[in-house]
């Protein structure tokens, strides 16, 4: 058995980003940038008015009320060829270029117009309501960097930078194969001794949620020929993931059968709970993760191992999550030599403390407590027993962050 840390570093070592592709900007949301992006235009490209009102020379409105002569009308998208002279103003609208000679905007609400004259009742110091050229950014500024997952805000910024397309990494393709004679897809006809597969769809959802593309290869029964045949269908993907069949039982065929068919195992068995029998290697030149079959093991190991692997393939930098802790609401036992990930709920005590309560039953077959969990409590190997109130490291599932 190797440690979680060693397993993770050996699993990540051979993985690098998939090739980039050129994509229309609106389709780039959620993708990872494969290039540094420099602005192709200064923004704003010229000084503009931030308000509807009058462009003036600040010195002309030092004393108010002041009456100015209107010499131009400048809507957004238009310009004024001339120059404001002493005692002159230009009617101007939000986003319109500031005319030469003007250096301040008096807002409409502070004026009274009659014909080609405007009375200014409130002065405006130089620069008031003027957005200077380059206020936001200048041409050539590098504002988005390779390795960034693009948000709707980034798409807006790239558009403002005058980039209609970007180079982004294509989505990593992850083949998923479940195993077991007892496994039937939800909704399919089911025999008396069979169970419904949660792993295949859960894994597909996990892969999608992490920005990659799942390729569902199907389910291989516990038969060597069938397993060989179905596994061989996983071709041309960036990562091959199996679930089940990697443990020590006679019906756990993945390691033995596929080893005779192009699988080179790097490691098997990790000091982790749930998920000890996890395997990593290369199957026909594709990196391959053999996840354990128990549904909770599959998903916890996905969080610990598959997610970082997808990030590597996707061109993202390794995540350095801020260490998070919570106070135990109940005592926990001494741990053995496997790093334990306890399914747990989070709550706030009346004084605002983040409190965590692991579920009493930590059976790796039970989806209901996993789905009801907010986090995992991490118990390092040989961690001592802890009383209620002790601080423990947690991995939060993150809740519903706003997708902006």
Residues lying near ligand AMP in the complex (CB under 6 A) are found at 178-180, 182-183, 195, 197-200, 243-245, 247, 249, 252, 292-295
Helices 307-314 and 4-12 sit at what angle, rounded to 10 degrees?
Answer: 30
Q: Provide the minimum distance between the beta carbon of 293 and Mg ion in the complex, in angstroms, as a whole number.
A: 5
Is the Cβ of residue 52 or residue 252 nearer to ligand AMP in the bound state?
252
Residue 85 near residue 66 (C-beta atoms within 8 A): no
Q: Which is nearer to Mg ion, 23 or 300 (CB)?
A: 300
Alpha-helical segments (H) within 249-294: 254-259
Cβ of residue 218: shortest distance to Mg ion, in angstroms?
15
User: Rounded to the nearest whole angstrom, what is the least distance from the CB of residue 184 to ligand AMP in the complex?
Assistant: 9
Write down the residue that tokens 């992006």 correspond to: 37
* CA–centroid distance for 46 within its chain: 35
Question: Which residues on neighbouring strands pair with residue 392, listed in sequence order?
Answer: 326
What is the nearest approach in angstroms of ligand AMP to the Cβ of residue 176? 10
Q: Cα–Cα distance between 200 and 59 in angstroms, integer?
A: 72
Are residues 61 and 128 in contact, defined by beta-carbon separation less than 8 angstroms? no
Q: What x-and-dash track marks residues 208-247 binding Mg ion by CB under 5 A?
A: ------------------------------------xx--
Residues in the chain, total: 404
Which of Mg ion, ligand AMP, none is residue 183 near (CB under 5 to 8 Å by kind)? ligand AMP
Query: Least CB distance from residue 246 to Mg ion, whole Å?
Result: 9
* Cβ-contact 54, 89 below 8 angstroms: yes
Residue for token pair 């109130």: 389
If the CB atoms of residues 178 and 373 are measured against ligand AMP, the closer one turns out to be: 178
Indicate the residue among 197 and 339 with the shorter CB distance to ligand AMP.
197
Give whichever of 166 and 203 is closer to Mg ion, judged by the CB atom.
203
Nearer to ligand AMP, 198 or 373 (CB): 198
Please list every residue from 285 through 304 that binds Mg ion, using CB under 5 A.
293
Q: CB–CB of 52/108 below 8 Å? A: yes
Q: Does residue number 97 form part of the binding site for Mg ion (CB under 5 A)? A: no
Tokens 């959620």 locate to 30
CA separation for the pair 35, 333 (Å, rounded): 49
User: Cβ distance 37 to 142 under 8 Å?
Assistant: yes
Site pattern 243..282 for Mg ion (x: CB under 5 A) = -xx-------------------------------------
Tell me the closest approach of the beta carbon of residue 174 to ligand AMP, in angstroms: 16
CA distance linking residue 32 with residue 211, whole number of Å: 9
Cα separation, 282 vs 152, whole angstroms: 36
Question: Cβ 365 to ligand AMP, closest distance in Å?
Answer: 6
Q: Which is nearer to ligand AMP, 244 or 315 (CB)?
A: 244
Residues in touch with Mg ion (CB under 5 A) = 180, 244-245, 293
């Amino acid at each position: 058995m190797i440690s979680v840390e060693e397993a993770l570093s050996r699993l990540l070592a051979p993985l690098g980003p998939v090739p980039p592709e050129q994509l229309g900007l609106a389709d780039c949301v959620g993708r990872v940038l494969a290039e540094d992006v420099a602005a192709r235009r200064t923004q704003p490209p010229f000084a503009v008015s931030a308000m509807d009102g009058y462009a003036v020379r600040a010195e002309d409105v030092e004393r108010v009320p002041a009456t100015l002569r209107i010499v131009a009308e400048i809507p957004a998208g238009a310009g004024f060829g001339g120059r404001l002279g002493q005692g002159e103003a230009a009617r101007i609208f939000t986003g319109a270029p500031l005319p030469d000679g003007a250096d301040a905007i008096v807002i409409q609400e502070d004026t009274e117009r009659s014909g080609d004259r405007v009375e200014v009742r409130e002065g405006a110091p130089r620069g008031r309501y003027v957005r200077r050229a380059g206020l936001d950014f200048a041409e050539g500024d590098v504002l988005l960097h390779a390795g960034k997952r693009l948000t709707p805000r980034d798409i807006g910024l790239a558009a403002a930078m005058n980039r209609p397309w970007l180079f982004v990494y294509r989505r990593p393709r992850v083949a998923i194969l479940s195993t077991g004679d007892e496994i039937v897809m939800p909704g399919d006809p089911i025999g008396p001794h069979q169970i419904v597969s949660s792993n295949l769809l859960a894994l597909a959802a996990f892969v999608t949620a992490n920005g990659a593309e799942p390729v569902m290869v199907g389910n291989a029964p516990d038969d060597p020929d069938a397993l060989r045949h179905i596994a061989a269908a996983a071709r041309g993907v960036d990562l091959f993931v199996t679930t089940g069949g990697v443990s020590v039982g006679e019906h756990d065929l993945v390691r033995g059968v596929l080893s005779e068919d192009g699988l080179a195992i790097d490691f098997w068995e990790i000091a982790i709970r749930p998920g000890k029998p996890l395997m990593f290697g290369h199957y026909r030149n594709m990196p391959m993760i053999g996840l354990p079959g128990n549904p909770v093991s599959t998903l916890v190991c996905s969080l610990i191992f598959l997610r970082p692997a997808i990030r590597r393939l996707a061109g993202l930098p390794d995540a350095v999550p801020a260490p998070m802790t919570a106070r135990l609401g109940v005592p926990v036992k001494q741990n053995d030599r496997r790093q334990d990930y306890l399914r747990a709920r989070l709550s706030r005590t009346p004084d605002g403390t983040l409190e965590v309560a692991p579920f009493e039953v930590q059976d790796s077959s039970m989806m209901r407590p996993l789905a009801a969990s907010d986090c995992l409590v991490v118990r390092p190997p040989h961690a001592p027993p802890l009383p209620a109130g002790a601080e423990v490291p947690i991995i939060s599932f993150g809740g519903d962050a706003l997708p902006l």
